[in-house]
A and B are shown apart, each in its own frame.
Chain A
């Protein structure tokens, strides 16, 4: 008697890896993840540092200069640098964007000793420059984190 044609082929059970290699692999993966996280935090704290630690010198320099230029220009235009004491959701959002520039947030506060002046268009542009510096730095830190995890960057 013939066998039924639609009989499913039996899949072979997966071969488990030797127990001795599994914890080692997991430790290695955790270590790499932790290193990537450190790279991301370093990239946020000091613009370009996340890339510099991975010897991506061109990207590190570009991020450092771009974020630095935006901060200097924004502070020079007397843009509004938001604080944690925001009165509404937009001010809080602006604070998080500004905070994205890490240590350069303190630099902007130092440079803008006279305080913001958004009564002119330059001040309004300065506010955007400062916020963009923060968001660009966050993007760069995320890029450095992904590169450290081994993703193609």
Chain B
């Protein structure tokens, strides 16, 4: 690793790992697993970015 990950990179990595685990645990068929993993990944990222923007006014 060249250096510490940025906030966004950390969040994306976190979302990717957890989504893949959720997809594999939560569904049986490969197509359903992929769909569920993609869906939860999108939700992780969207909610994360939304909470980030909500906290923006209090950051200074």
Give residues in A with beta carbon < 8 Å to B: 58-59, 62-63, 66-67, 69-70, 73, 76-77, 120-122, 125, 128-129, 132, 136, 139-140, 143
Give residues in B with beta carbon < 8 Å to A: 1, 4-5, 7, 10, 13-14, 17-18, 20-21, 24-25
Are A132 and B18 within 8 A (Cβ)? yes
A70 proximity list for chain B (CB < 8 A): 17
Min CB distance, A141 to chain B, in Å?
Answer: 11
Are A66 and B18 within 8 A (Cβ)? yes
Are A77 and B4 within 8 A (Cβ)? yes
Selected contact of B25 from candidates A62, A73, A122, CB within 8 Å = A62
Give complex CA distance A142, B43 in Å. Answer: 24
Are A122 and B21 within 8 A (Cβ)? no
Overall SS of chain B's interface: helix
User: In chain A, what residue has the closest Cβ to B23?
Assistant: A62
Min CB distance, B60 to chain A, in Å?
Answer: 16
Give complex CA distance A114, B29 in Å. Answer: 43
Interface centre among B4, B7, B13, B21 (most CB of A within 10 A): B21
User: In chain B, what residue has the closest Cβ to A59?
Assistant: B24
Q: A59-B24, A69-B17, A129-B14 are in contact. Are A121 and B1 (CB under 8 A)?
A: no
Are A63 and B25 within 8 A (Cβ)? yes
* In the complex, the 9 A-B pairs of residues with the closest C-beta atoms, listed nearest first: A62-B24, A66-B21, A122-B4, A125-B10, A66-B17, A69-B17, A59-B24, A143-B25, A62-B21
